């Protein structure tokens, strides 16, 4: 009985240690990058939260994305770009229709996409980060590690546009804390 108790305790302890390791990135690069990604994610979610739900359909011009479309585009692109360039998967865009979604649904989609990329950052190994990929639009060849910056840059581009949408609706954007 004592041996069984010790075995169970050991297995439980190993499970806890493994769960803790799931929150520690595997490479020096991803350990540094995770803090930057987390801050960018939180700021983006703050921007999405700041806009009242009845203004999610706002767009400054006829050809512009609505605020909700910007947020859905960020969510869909986070996952797509992570899969395509960081993980090397063959994927095609699949962006939901923001006009058929509530603010709560859009925020949940954003959270899911940020969590997806976060899990990749936590689990990717150095060998994969050192691989190269060809960027679809520019044709540039970059490392998969560098591609993580592209995911973040794309999100920041659309987040900054969304900050302007907030101001155009007399909503004070969340303070940028970096």
Distance CA 76, CA 95 (A): 6
Domain span at 34: 29-168
| Residue that has been written with the tokens 């700041």 in this structure | 50
CATH code for position 88: 1.20.120.450
Going by C-beta distance under 8 Å and a sequence separation of 6 or more, which residues neighbour residue 1? none
Q: Is residue 20 part of a domain?
A: no
pTM of the complete model? 0.86
| Residue that has been written with the tokens 């806890």 in this structure | 16
- Overall domain count for the chain: 1
| Residue that has been written with the tokens 């994927």 in this structure | 91
Tell me, what's the pLDDT at 178? 65
Q: Measuring CA to CA, which residue among 148, 131, 152 is closest to residue 83?
A: 148
Q: Is residue 160 part of a domain?
A: yes
159: left (phi over 0), alpha (psi -120 to 50) or beta: alpha
Q: Is residue 15 part of a domain?
A: no
Q: Measuring CA to CA, which residue among 121, 160, 162 is closest to residue 144?
A: 121
Quick check: 37 and 152 in contact, CB under 8 A?
yes
Residues 113-143: tens digit of each pLDDT = 999 999 999 999 999 999 999 998 899 999 9
Tell me, what's the pLDDT at 51? 98
Burial code of 7-39, b = ≥16 C-beta within 10 A, e = fewer? Answer: eeeeeeeeeeeeeeeeeebbbebbeebbeebee
Q: Measuring CA to CA, which residue among 93, 44, 92 is closest to residue 70?
A: 44
Q: Is residue 106 part of a domain?
A: yes
Residues 73-105: tens digit of each pLDDT = 999 999 999 999 999 999 999 999 999 999 999
Distance CA 14, CA 37 (A): 29
């Amino acid at each position: 009985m004592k041996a069984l108790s010790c075995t169970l305790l050991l297995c439980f302890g190993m499970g806890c240690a493994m769960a803790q390791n799931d929150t520690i990135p595997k490479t020096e690069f991803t350990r540094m990058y995770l803090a930057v990604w987390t801050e960018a994610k939180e700021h983006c979610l703050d921007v999405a939260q700041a806009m009242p739900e009845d203004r999610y359909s706002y767009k400054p011009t006829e050809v512009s994305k609505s605020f909700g479309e910007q947020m859905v585009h960020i969510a869909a692109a986070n996952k797509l770009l992570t899969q395509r360039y960081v993980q090397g998967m063959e994927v095609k865009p699949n962006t939901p229709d923001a006009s058929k979604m509530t603010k709560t649904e859009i925020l949940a989609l954003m959270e899911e996409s940020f969590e997806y990329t976060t899990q990749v950052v936590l689990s990717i190994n150095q060998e994969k980060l050192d691989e190269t990929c060809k960027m679809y639009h520019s044709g540039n060849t970059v490392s998969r590690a560098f591609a993580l910056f592209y995911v973040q840059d794309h999100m920041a581009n659309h987040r900054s546009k969304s900050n302007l949408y907030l101001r155009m609706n007399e909503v004070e954007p969340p303070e940028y804390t970096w």
